[in-house]
Amino acid sequence: MRMKRHWTKLAIVVACLAAIVAGAVTGPVLAGPPQPARGKGEKCVAPTDWMRRYHMQALKHQRDETVHEGIRTPRFSLKHCFECHQVAGADGRPVSVADPKHFCRTCHDYAAVRVDCFECHASRPGEEPIRTGSTTDNPPAAAASGDVAALNRYLGDAKR
């Protein structure tokens, strides 16, 4: 009688353990901390721990300097972030913030932080570089040659 009770207890314990192990293997897996896309370069513009904590302050500081004083250093510019931390989508182009794989979204989705930067700002690198007034920056398309011809005509006129 006593022996039988022991067997019953042991069976219950074994069953519970089996259930726990099975649950751990097949049950819902809790997501770990997010793994945002690594940048292209060797290292980030500041130590990773610092960037995790203070990137918003850095961006805000830079934004005021850029907009009001025309200081366009790349170090803490939003544009510069995406030049390194871009994630290629199915079409090979860097994904926009509409994609959950986007560099900013990986963490912000996890932390339930909704940023409104991208209502105005582009969330992926542009396809063309900033043009600086030089006509030679135009893509070498057939359409450009007509423009260059017109420019040369104009330059010829200006010389006379």
Under the rule (CB under 8 A), what is the footprint of another protein?
41-43, 45-47, 50, 54, 57-58, 61, 63-65, 67-75, 79, 82, 96, 119-122, 124-126, 129-140, 144-145, 147-148, 150-155, 157-159
Shortest distance (Å) from residue 89 CB to another protein = 14
Nearest CA-CA partner of 97 in 120, 64, 73: 120
CB nearer to another protein: pick between 18 and 154: 154
Shortest distance (Å) from residue 160 CB to another protein = 10
CB nearer to another protein: pick between 60 and 101: 60
Shortest distance (Å) from residue 158 CB to another protein = 5
The string of DSSP letters for 116-150 reads -GGGTS-SS--SSPPP-S-GGGS---HHHHHHHHH
CB nearer to another protein: pick between 36 and 55: 55
Shortest distance (Å) from residue 104 CB to another protein = 14
Burial 20-43 (b: 16+ CB within 10 A, else e): eeeeeeeeeeeeeeeebbebeeee
Alpha carbons 72 and 32: distance in angstroms, whole number: 37
